[in-house]
Structure 1
Amino acid sequence: MPILSVERGEIYYEVSGKGFPVLLFAPGFLGSRIEHWRKPRAGHCAVPEWRNPIPALARDFKVITLDVRNAGRSWAEIGPDYDWPCYTADHLALLDELGIDKCHVLGTCIGVSFALALAHAAPGRIASLVLQNPIGLSGENRTVLDEQIAQWSGGLAARPDVSPSALRAVGPRMFGRDFVFSITRNAAGRVSAPTLLMPGNDRMHPPLVSASLARLMKAEVVNPWKGKAHCDAALERARDFLIEHTPGQLAAGRFVS
């Protein structure tokens, strides 16, 4: 079982396929984990009728997936400094462990926030971004966000190493900000990696947040992308986009799913 040891924790990850690397961040809010690609969860962070991208991408790329800290098979201490940079440090450590200097990144739901934090912290290591269904703050979704925080916190509360006060502080610290929570609008505008965006259209994934990202990052927008009528074409476009922006490779032809 592939496990990365990080400071005060362990990160479970999997690698599929060969080729230029693509790092995937799964949906599921702070419970972001590999199984949500294979069996989408129900509720506010579900991605309706979206295909698991791992098999399709693994035909052309080395695909790296992970359970983020304190989700699935990964764990980490929850201390007074628990925040987005802790996650980013894990993700950079995983790239280092695998000897990856540069990669594509695909993130869904909260995975967009993880991807943007990584691109902001280490811009030279990101070849391109595919951002799908971004979470973010709107005037209508604070209650929904609080529900998701409570659900994640409830799953950790019984752990003997978790301080109740430290756990209570995580939600306000990580999600008390604006926009996509992990970086500011100004920081998003400074991300130079080519970006493809599949916008959100519900309370957890506010349309205005997606529109702001598209404008700030000059992203290519794929919409519609949800549902049986669109998901195959959207995944094919995402794969083609990654090929087009793979260093040192020709993006010739289209791929057959």
Structure 2
Amino acid sequence: MPTVTIDGIQTEYRLVGEGPPLLMFSPGGFNAVADNWSDLGVYRRIRLLDELPRRHTCILFDRRESGRSGGRVERLTWAHYVEQGRGLLDHLDIERAHLMGGCVGCSVVASFAVAYPARVASMVLYSPAGGARYRMTSRARFERHLAFVEEEGLGGVVELARSSEDGFSKDPRLGPWVSVIRNDPGFAERYADYDPEAYRILVTGLSRAMFDRDSVPGPEPEDLMLLDVPALVVPGNDGSHATSAAHYLHECLPRAEYWDVPVEEQTATSAPSRIAGFLEAHA
């Protein structure tokens, strides 16, 4: 896969298909890798990449701190993920694209549209992450990570990462930089030497700011309400993808269409054609 350096961080990406560009922000929480569009949960079943590349150039990439992309210890915000996507479009010399997000990728897509509305032809928000349980689970994951750092130190995180193949979602002790620790020995060395108190403050702020509401994390509702970008919202229905999260986006986005179909009826036949039709209508 080709790579590009954006803001000093390596991004691994690939292009699939031909047609108008579709920048796809992967599902998967803090393991948002390109392969999740084919291998993870509902996305494995609906097989979007069998259909969408027939009509679009799908831009797939590992989000920073995920997969083979790099990372940096800093207080991550949704804006950091937006800038990775913007930098990738700049690298590909694409001024305007459709955007699609799955799971927490919806928060990035909505944040991107608020920051750069002129660069967004339309957005597909598939099974947006959100809801009260999602906020509680996300905060608890960071608390468990910081408790482990308190007990074992950052060197202990590095040792655990090297002895395991789990990700942050499955084993919160590992923290959100686990893939970079595994892939980059230099980063792992710097991570282990990071000041523990500064790290605790940084991670506490990251968790509080990113998961600050019981709806959908990301842009403020007032910004969404002023957004003149067509959107298709597709609901999820579990503890991390509350149906209320999809309803919230539909309520806030003036040009949103809501595909009112239960998750079990979102299939490889129905979902790709619904998305493709929406994208074509807003070409």
Deviation at 1:238, TM superposition (A): 0.5
Larger deviation: 122-131 or 159-168?
159-168
Q: Which runs of 5+ in 1 are unaligned?
A: 41-45, 247-257
Secondary structure of the 1:124 match is: helix
Q: Residues 1-257 of structure 1: matches in 2 within 5 Å?
A: 1-40=1-40, 46-47=41-42, 50-79=45-74, 81-138=75-132, 140-146=133-139, 149=142, 150=145, 151=168, 154=174, 156=177, 159-162=188-191, 163=194, 165=199, 166-177=202-213, 179-218=215-254, 219-224=256-261, 226-227=263-264, 230-246=267-283
Deviation at 1:214, TM superposition (A): 0.8
Identity of aligned residues (%): 27
In 2 relative to 1, CA 208–60 (structure 1 residues): closer, same or farther, beyond 3 Å?
same
Task: Pick the structure with more helix per residue.
Answer: 2
> TM-score, length-normalised on structure 2?
0.77
**Separation in 2 of the partners of 1:229 and 1:192?**
27
- 8 Å contact 1:77–1:161 — kept in the other structure? no
**Separation in 2 of the partners of 1:127 and 1:106?**
11
- 8 Å contact 2:48–2:271 — kept in the other structure? no
**Separation in 2 of the partners of 1:15 and 1:229?**
25
**Separation in 2 of the partners of 1:148 and 1:236?**
36
- 8 Å contact 1:178–1:184 — kept in the other structure? no
**Separation in 1 of the partners of 2:61 and 2:49?**
12
From the CA coordinates, give the structure whose radius of gyration is larger.
Answer: 2
Q: Which runs of 5+ in 2 are unaligned?
A: 146-167, 182-187
Structure-2 residue corresponding to 1:254: none
How many residues of Structure 1 are paired with residues of Structure 2 in the alignment?
A: 239
AA partner of residue 143 (structure 1): M
- 8 Å contact 1:32–1:71 — kept in the other structure? yes
Give the aligned CA root-mean-square deviation in angstroms. Answer: 2.2
> TM-score, length-normalised on structure 1?
0.84
